[in-house]
Copies of this chain bind each other. A is one copy, B any other.
Amino acid sequence: MLHAVLIKGAFQDSVTLMLLSRDLSTLPDVKSVAVMMGTPANKDVYRDTGLWHEALAAATPNDLCLVVDSDGDNPDIAASMAAQVKARLTELAHSRRSAGFPVARSWRRARQLLPEANVALISIAGHYAFEPARQALEDGCHVMIFSDNVSIEQELELKNLARSRGLLVMGPDCGTSIIGAAPLAFANRIPAGPIAVVGASGSGIQELTSQIARLGGGITHALGLGGRDLSERIGGISAVCALDFIARDSASRVLAFVSKPPAPAVRARVLEAMQALGKPVVALFQGEHLARRHGGVHLVRTLDEAAALAVELSRVDANASALPQVQGRGICGLYAGGTLAAEAALLFAEAFGIAPDTAHVGGYLLRANGHRIVDLGDDAYTRGRPHPMIDPSLRNEMILGLAGESAIGVLLFDVVLGYGAHPDPAGEVARAVSALRAARGVGAPIIAIATLTGTAEDPQGLERQIDTLERAGIVLADNVRAAVLLATHAVIANTSPEGEAPALLRARPAVINIGLRGFADDLHANGVKVVHQQWEPAAGGNERLQRLIAQMQ
């Protein structure tokens, strides 16, 4: 049997409602419970779930509705419900008084209490989210809308307004942002680091940033866009704004992006903005089966791949900054292993947007734009002499031959250990590289990047081989892919736009929180200046009256 109680004018957020619901479910003989505000949409839910009670007919959006289905026969159950809920509300009000941050009843009052506020975090029911968002934008604040069920027309109107004022709208339906370590809504504690994250997916951002943390990486900011931002209708307005912000933020050295596949026109626009960043980019367009690379943008397929590559790119960036600035922008790869050479050629071709050499004449696997990758195990080089893994003399000669070729700025090669191979391949190549550097002089530095194929058990002694390379100033990459990333980074000029970082990203934000009170608690706990605006539907939820009031303001 259904029992209902209305508590008039007692607006609560959805988390408080959940807590109340849990309390009521402890009453004896309760089969099911539903605790909601009396909005039209919620009344529908009561009807759809068989929990409609005629007492609800009179409820307004500001009225707390309690409905319990009990199979017992307790005549006092309604009274118990009301007593229990009121006691809990008193308890909550008491605990909230000591929260440590101010509470306001209106936007105007909240602004007075926190004049430096620059972000509004809105998590009230989506039906009501437009008006406070518009007001915040008009007042010069960026907006994050956690709420879903905001119409796409309203979203477009808010984003156009924001664009005209240089402001960012995160959302609607934006679960997660982290700005200057301030957790906005659902957010994890992520160490500071050089990776910026932008995404149209809350749990995607949470998983990506958590995995970045687990891999020892860190973030500057994580900016949510909301799930519809990359639709044709919205056109990626917030994505373009967020990418522009990240472009101008010099602390952000690498970008990781996650979303569903954007609408085709938006995809092109977003990729263009990514290319213009002048920073390495990893993009996960979830579910897209396309190429792995679009110019400087690495396209990946899963969240773990995105996190691993973002962390790797941030380390490549850090390592590259320790390398000499080279004048020559050409890359020369001299490989004894054919498959290693081929992998390098394929990855460079992709990175530079050029075609690998398919004829392979003279062992060339790539020869274009001043770059070349050679397989020295090719028949062209093994006539009348042992394989280059055994006999390093030809490669040594070719390395020395780079003395006069100042257009080559990066030399790549493999060092292959194991049975059958030369007893000291690192020593051989290290001597050649040192001789090359001596011949080129300090005016024409060259970066030398090796990969090492071998294990700690190999007869040449892995540690000794590594040590030999390092002492010769040769950079050791973990694998061919990593070597190509580093080499590419070293020869591609940084084209990052000039200018100051956007104010939003220069310091921890100051936030006006409208909706779920817990979000304000979390911000406060993280040292973020926050005012909680205790929102409730204006004019008791009467929409005609609300529109009238809005027109008068």
Q: Give per-residue flags for A198-231: 1 if the beta carbon is below 8 A from chain B beta carbons, else 0.
A: 0001111011001101100000000000010000
Contact check, B188 vs A417: say whether CB atoms are below 8 A apart: yes
A385 — which chain B residues lie within 8 A by C-beta? 14, 18
Identify which of A88-96, A108-116, A479-487 touches chain B.
A479-487
A451 — which chain B residues lie within 8 A by C-beta? 207
Contact check, A287 vs B149: say whether CB atoms are below 8 A apart: no
Contact check, B346 vs A187: say whether CB atoms are below 8 A apart: no
Considering the chains assembled together, what is the distance between the CA atoms of A186 and B416 in angstroms?
A: 9
Contact check, B188 vs A337: say whether CB atoms are below 8 A apart: no
Q: Give per-residue flags for A41-60: 1 if the beta carbon is below 8 A from chain B beta carbons, else 0.
A: 11011000000000000000
CB distance from A22 to the nearest CB of B (A): 8
Known: A188-B417, A457-B189. A379 touches B148 (CB 8 A): yes
By the criterion of a CB under 8 Å from any partner CB, how many residues of chain A are at the interface?
A: 91
Known: A203-B416, A342-B286, A386-B14. A347 touches B302 (CB 8 A): yes
CB distance from A173 to the nearest CB of B (A): 9
**Does residue A443 face the partner (Cβ distance < 8 Å to B)?**
no
Contact check, A384 vs B478: say whether CB atoms are below 8 A apart: no
Closest to A260 in B: B342
Identify which of A3-11, A273-281, A418-426 touches chain B.
A418-426
Contact check, A207 vs B340: say whether CB atoms are below 8 A apart: yes
Considering the chains assembled together, what is the distance between the CA atoms of A340 and B306 in angstroms?
A: 13
Contact check, B302 vs A337: say whether CB atoms are below 8 A apart: no
CB distance from A294 to the nearest CB of B (A): 13
A315 — which chain B residues lie within 8 A by C-beta? none
A343 — which chain B residues lie within 8 A by C-beta? 286, 302-303
Contact check, A418 vs B203: say whether CB atoms are below 8 A apart: no
Considering the chains assembled together, what is the distance between the CA atoms of A344 and B468 in angstroms?
A: 46
Q: Give per-residue flags for A1-30: 1 if the beta carbon is below 8 A from chain B beta carbons, else 0.
A: 000000000000011011000000000000
Considering the chains assembled together, what is the distance between the CA atoms of A45 and B481 in angstroms?
A: 36
B-contacting residues, A498-528, CB 8 Å: 516, 518-519, 522, 526
Considering the chains assembled together, what is the distance between the CA atoms of A46 and B291 in angstroms?
A: 47
Contact check, B183 vs A420: say whether CB atoms are below 8 A apart: yes
Most buried by B among A15, A42, A387: A387
CB distance from A403 to the nearest CB of B (A): 18
Q: Give per-residue flags for A175-193: 1 if the beta carbon is below 8 A from chain B beta carbons, else 0.
A: 1000000010111111100
Contact check, B41 vs A383: say whether CB atoms are below 8 A apart: yes
- From the candidates B202, B210, B417, name the one contacting A455 in the complex (CB within 8 A): B210
B-contacting residues, A458-498, CB 8 Å: 458-459, 478-482
**Does residue A333 face the partner (Cβ distance < 8 Å to B)?**
no
**Does residue A328 face the partner (Cβ distance < 8 Å to B)?**
no
Closest to A414 in B: B203
- From the candidates B149, B202, B304, name the one contacting A481 in the complex (CB within 8 A): B304
Considering the chains assembled together, what is the distance between the CA atoms of A390 and B123 in angstroms?
A: 13
Known: A187-B420, A418-B188. A339 touches B18 (CB 8 A): no
A480 — which chain B residues lie within 8 A by C-beta? 207, 302-304
Contact check, A386 vs B18: say whether CB atoms are below 8 A apart: yes
A459 — which chain B residues lie within 8 A by C-beta? 189
**Does residue A235 face the partner (Cβ distance < 8 Å to B)?**
no
**Does residue A158 face the partner (Cβ distance < 8 Å to B)?**
no
Ordered by A's residue number, 12 sampled pairs between the chains whose C-beta atoms are within 8 Å are: A14-B386, A186-B421, A187-B419, A188-B453, A189-B418, A189-B419, A207-B340, A210-B454, A302-B481, A303-B343, A419-B519, A420-B519
- From the candidates B303, B387, B418, B479, name the one contacting A302 in the complex (CB within 8 A): B479
Known A203-B377, A206-B337; further 15 A-B contacts with Cβ < 8 A: A14-B386, A18-B391, A36-B384, A44-B383, A148-B379, A183-B418, A187-B420, A189-B457, A203-B337, A204-B340, A207-B337, A207-B339, A304-B480, A304-B482, A419-B522
